[in-house]
Amino acid sequence: MNLERIGVDESVSTVFPPEKLVEALSGLPVEVERVDGSPDSLADCQAVVTFVNREAFLDLEWVHSIQAGVDRFSRERFEEAGVVLSNSTGIHGDAIGETVATQVLMLARRFHVHVANQRRREWSQPGWDDAWTVAGEQACVVGLGGLGRGIVDRLTGLGIDVVGVRRTPTPEPGVDRVYPAERLHDGIADARFVVLAVPLVEETRNLFDDEVLSAMREDAYLVNVARGGVVDQSALVDALESGEIAGAALDVFETEPLPESSPLWEMDDVIVSPHCGAFIDEYYRHIAAIVRESVRRVQTGDEPANRVF
Ligand code: NAD
């Protein structure tokens, strides 16, 4: 790859100002410029760093996604066009770990209720048996990659016993038992919190359907920081409405933004956040570090870091 110019697509502004990344990449032996995604603005670029996917990227040589999930990009079309895709897996464990710790603590300590009451200036103490402690409870983390690692560290730090599920059930520090994907039911059966941290791929689409949701404990909470498509959202609404599970903390949804008409907005024991579980002020610096390493590799004839396909 003869790399002379990298575009920073304006879509990264969903997560940080594009100028911040352009600035953080200064001093590289290639030009780095903000682009608006139009074929014109990409004309002299061989590569782009982006949040969204665009048709015009198929004329480039390398696309770097600032997300870990690559469900926006078609492997088939990229391979056909000979375009390399790399992602930003590996940088989200700390932020998502803290997000999940916040979600489980809010649910157990009832802070989602207190915050809602505060907005109405309502002094309302919880029932004697509403609040509980997470220490000694069990969590099942489904997907033990970069996200899973950050989640396991925080949850074990809170005294939670963690089991996990992943495709190859190799042991993972801090995880009492690791189940293979085929034994998902066994993994989730005793968990008070089921935390989803898998990529959205064919095998994980609608993985949490009515059958899997009904295999969870009635007092269990579903935490989804992966992708909305991993859960059958209408089955989830049914499970919440019928009391089949106790509640949920959801950062991702089938349709984003979550439509105003969704019943999830109004449910007492559901915490909704706008797909921002990994947002941190330093995000652009982490992306810059990956891109710098990739440029170094490309210039020595190697492939970009974190190549997906
Ligand atoms: P990763 O590739 O490091 O880890 C994914 C893990 O899931 C791997 O251990 C893999 O073996 C496992 N896995 C795959 N299929 C599975 C299955 N069927 N059953 C059980 N385990 C399975 O990726 P990561 O960085 O940990 O990110 C995981 C996903 O989380 C991303 O693909 C993305 O969609 C999502 N994500 C969301 C946010 C957010 O803002 N909410 C941020 C980062 C990542």
- Of 273, 144, 150, 140, which is closest to residue 208 (Cα–Cα)? 140
Tell me the per-residue pLDDT of 230-259, one tens digit each, with 9 for 90 and over. 999 999 999 999 999 999 999 999 999 999
pLDDT-based confidence at residue 139 (cuts at 50, 70, 90)? very high
Catalytic (active site) residue 241? no
Q: How far is the CA of 254 from the centre of ligand 1 (A)?
A: 16
Verify whether ligand 1 is closer than 6 Å to residue 172 (CB atom): no
The answer to whether the pTM exceeds 0.90 is yes
Query: What is residue 192's predicted lDDT score, i.e. its pLDDT?
Result: 98
Catalytic (active site) residue 275? yes
Verify whether ligand 1 is closer than 6 Å to residue 107 (CB atom): no
Query: What is residue 257's predicted lDDT score, i.e. its pLDDT?
Result: 98
pLDDT-based confidence at residue 175 (cuts at 50, 70, 90)? very high
In the chain, % of residues over pLDDT 70: 100
Q: Let me know: does 169 contact 145? Beta carbons within 8 Å.
A: no
Burial of 40 (0-12, 13-18, 19+ CB in 10 A): exposed
Catalytic (active site) residue 227? yes
Tell me the per-residue pLDDT of 276-309, one tens digit each, with 9 for 90 and over. 999 999 999 999 999 999 999 999 999 999 999 9
Query: What is residue 295's predicted lDDT score, i.e. its pLDDT?
Result: 98
Verify whether ligand 1 is closer than 6 Å to residue 149 (CB atom): no
**Crossing angle between the packed helical segments 93-109 and 146-157, to the nearest 10 degrees:** 40
